[in-house]
Amino acid sequence: MITVVSTMQLHSDSAEEWDQLIRERFRSAHDKEGWISGQLLSPADARDTRVIIGTWRSQRDWAAWHGDPAFLSTRARLDELQKVDHRTALYDVIEDAQTNTH
Q: Identify the CATH number of the domain in which residue 33 sits.
A: 3.30.70.100
- The confidence score (pLDDT) of residue 50 equals 96
Indicate whether 98 belongs to any domain. no
> Quick check: 66 pLDDT over 70?
yes
Distance CA 88, CA 53 (A): 10
**0.75 surpassed by pTM:** yes
Of 32, 35, 25, 39, give the one whose Cα is nearest residue 76.
25
Indicate whether 22 belongs to any domain. yes
Angle separating helix axes 15-29 and 69-81, nearest 10 degrees: 160
The domain in which residue 17 lies consists of 2-92
Indicate whether 99 belongs to any domain. no
Indicate whether 87 belongs to any domain. yes
Q: Using one digit for the tens of pLDDT, what is the confidence trace for 85-94?
A: 789 999 999 9
Indicate whether 100 belongs to any domain. no
Indicate whether 102 belongs to any domain. no
The total number of structural domains in the chain stands at 1
**Total length of the chain:** 102
Indicate whether 84 belongs to any domain. yes
Indicate whether 43 belongs to any domain. yes
> Quick check: 55 pLDDT over 90?
yes
